[in-house]
Amino acid sequence: MTTPSQPRPAPPSGLATRGSPPRTVRRPAPPRDAGHGTRLRDEMGGTQGAAAVAKARRSPDLWGFVATFIASGLVLLFTASRNPQHLDYFNRLADAFLHGRIWLGEAPSWLNELIPVPGVPNEWYVAYPPMPAVLAMPFVALFGPSFPAQVYSALYGALDAGLAFLLLGRLNLRLRVRDRLALTGVFTFGTVFWFVAIGGSAWYFAHVAAVGFTLAAILVALSRRAAWVAGLLIGLAALSRLPAGFAAVFVLAAALGFPGTLRGLDWARVARTVVTFGVGLAIPAAAYIAYNEARWGTVMDQGYVMIPGVLQDPIYAQHGIESVWYIPRNLFALLFRSWNYADSAPWLQPSWWGLGIFLTTPLYLWLAKADRKSPMVWWAAVATALVAVPILIHGNVGISQFGYRFSLDFQVLLFVILATAFAGGRWTWRSKAAAALSVGFCAYAIWAIGIGFVAY
């Protein structure tokens, strides 16, 4: 009991004493922008957002691959042509495969590179290696041979972008996720790959297929577990684009750990890896030999020389399909071919003859800053040179095209080299500007071609 001489204890703040009027408790006013937007931000910054970020940090490869595939797929599909793709050799060949045939039953006039089966009326062979037709088979089986080739080309192109993101994380270069995303963005949208992936023609889709198999082969080889699978995959790249098969040198080196010297090698392990790799490579090689034997009666690929009238084409008339005389022609297209200039807006006009790789992708200038001490870089450089040989001696520089599309046969190798220039996040404002210009040039060209502002 409280005596009169003792002070009465004060009530807790905000509580009324007996006989006194109740006090109003003032609560903080809600922020002015409270509502759905604030609640969404709170959730993203709270439990749900934290969980999503934690998952992404635990599995950056998985989430990066998924995000890259989805984002790239949306952009590629959105920018793909809405017009039917008439150069649908692989749709027709896929339909033939589904019906147990290796020949086509009709030859529309616009498919001028079909080869009549000797002595057999109304049957024609497709000159190109067959793997792109195999990739088209699920879509043709589900939707028929008239399914737009540019749609599945864009989807496979998005898959290639995801594989490129994964590969950049396997090179042991201390690349941050943001570095990998930036390089993948340039790989997909800052090179001729963007134009080719949304085209859907037989020539273009063959590049998309070869790039995908090359990426997959290197990824498997870097795991250093199933060398035969790596050999199989690079063989399938060759069945898409024959020059891509020379990248097997780099794939095998990856399976061996990129040896920089012969000293200290475990030769027993080297022998096992080489043999295992060779077994995998032999599977598509044997399939292609059988395919050529069935078509031409020889194990060698005779496709291009048997196209009616091809040797009378002015491109090939003087020196044939392949010749060292074509090296200057291709080097000019690869390195120095520029834009056309038109007197009316928008003035800078893409040329169907192509565009040099440094004007298409200015970020390639940073190849000069690659780590020259890295055995991986030297193996990639050797493989690039080997892949380039059959390209440089080919009479056609790749027309009709934007950029130099044959560079896609060694683009994966170039990006392996390029990635070493950005190890540890070594980006500068100049390299960032070059990356942005690479994407900007390609986006402009695709827009210009889309409105018909293009010429030879």
Report the run of H or E that residue 348 belongs to, with start and end. strand 348-349
Tokens 């995303």 label which residue?
181
Q: Identity (one letter) of the amino acid at 248?
A: A
> What phi and psi, each to the nearest 5 degrees, are found at residue 332?
-65, -45
Residue type at position 305? V
The residue with tokens 């096992």 is 272
**Helix or strand or coil: residue 413?**
helix
What are the residue boundaries of the structural domains of the chain, listed by start?
58-450
Task: List the pLDDT tens digit at each of the 456 positions of the chain.
Answer: 444 444 444 444 444 444 444 454 455 554 444 444 455 445 445 565 555 556 667 788 999 999 999 999 999 999 998 888 899 999 999 999 999 999 999 999 999 999 999 889 999 999 999 999 999 999 999 999 999 999 999 999 999 999 999 999 999 999 999 999 999 999 999 999 999 999 999 999 999 999 999 999 999 999 988 999 999 999 999 999 999 999 999 999 999 999 998 888 899 999 999 999 999 999 999 999 999 999 988 888 777 888 999 999 999 999 999 999 999 999 999 999 999 999 999 999 999 999 999 999 999 999 999 999 999 999 999 999 999 999 999 999 999 999 999 999 999 999 999 999 999 889 999 999 999 999 999 999 999 999 999 999
Least Cα distance to 136 among 224, 205, 86, 199 occurs for 205
* Angstrom distance (rounded) from CA 2 to CA 8: 7
Distance CA 377, CA 363 (A): 17
Distance (Å, whole) CA 250 – CA 167: 14
Q: Let me know: does 289 contact 299? Beta carbons within 8 Å.
A: yes
Sign of CA dihedral 210, 215, 221, 227: negative
Q: Determine the Cα–Cα distance for residues 6 and 12; give it in Å rounded to an integer.
A: 18
CA atoms of 420 and 253, how far apart (whole Å): 17
Give the model's pLDDT for residue 48: 56
Q: Which amino acid is at 223?
A: S
Q: What is the pLDDT of residue 26?
A: 52
User: Which pLDDT score, from 0 to 100, does residue 305 have?
Assistant: 86
Provide the greatest CA pair distance for the chain.
127
CA neighbor of 361 nearest in space, from 418, 426, 442, 415: 442
> How would you classify the pairing of strands 340-341 and 348-349?
antiparallel
Return the SS3 of 358: helix
Question: In a 3-state reduction of DSSP, which class is residue 82?
Answer: coil
Residue with tokens 């009238």: 309
Q: What whole-number distance in Å separates Cα of residue 424 and Cα of residue 175? A: 6
Buried b (16+ CB within 10 A) or exposed e, 340-366: beeeeeeeebbbebbbbbbbbbbbbeb
Q: How far apart are the first and last CA of the chain?
A: 106
What gap in Å lies between CA 173 and CA 265, rounded to an integer? Answer: 23
The pLDDT assigned to 224 comes to 87
Distance CA 154, CA 79 (A): 9
Q: CA-to-CA distance for 19 and 3, rounded, in angstroms?
A: 19
Q: What is the dihedral of CA 60, 63, 67, 69, to 10 degrees?
A: 100
The answer to whether residues 196 and 150 touch, using CB atoms and an 8 Å cutoff, is: no
